[in-house]
Amino acid sequence: METEIQLLKNHTDEPTKKMLQRLVEHKRKFEAYKRKCFNAQFITFVLLMGFIVYLYTFIIKPTGGQLDMFFHLMFDGTYHVLIVLLIAGGYATAQYYKKKEDKAETEFNNLRSEIIRKSPELWPQPTQWQKRHEVFAMMKNEFDINLFHESK
């Protein structure tokens, strides 16, 4: 468990601390998929742009734009097909991570919304209700998780 969450001794009970810990884990999972998706998209984009520049410089320009010569040179080289497969694989990988990212974001936001909706049950007495604000502020400052409002 995170040390910041463990230090909430009198601010909340153990089940609530576990819920907050799960929320932090879901946030990290979402951010990890977001980073992986961006990296896959960036690498695919760089490969695609490099291949387009290569095709223009070494195949389209020297052949004068003749389609039959272009396709002959394009499919004659085994590296060209390999690069096209790498670009397609990079695109598929980016799509895979995007789906995982969307699922992780949905899980994170559902858990966050659940904590917000259940906050009157988790901090029932008026004295604990004042401590709720401190817990929410700590979650915002330490983990960048907004528990004050349900909207993203």
> pLDDT tens digit string along 86-127?
999 999 999 999 999 999 999 999 999 999 999 888 888 777
> Comparing C-alpha atoms, which of 97, 108, 142, 100 is closest to residue 26?
108
Q: What is the dihedral of CA 51, 53, 59, 63, to 10 degrees?
A: 150
Count the residues in the chain: 152
Q: What pLDDT shows up at residue 129?
A: 77
Average pLDDT over residues 8-19: 87
- CA separation for the pair 16, 75 (Å, rounded): 61
- CA separation for the pair 151, 146 (Å, rounded): 9
- CA separation for the pair 24, 113 (Å, rounded): 13
- CA separation for the pair 41, 47 (Å, rounded): 10
pLDDT digits (tens, 9 = 90+) for 26-69: 999 999 999 999 999 999 999 999 999 999 998 888 888 788 88
Q: Read off the DSSP letter of residue 151.
A: -
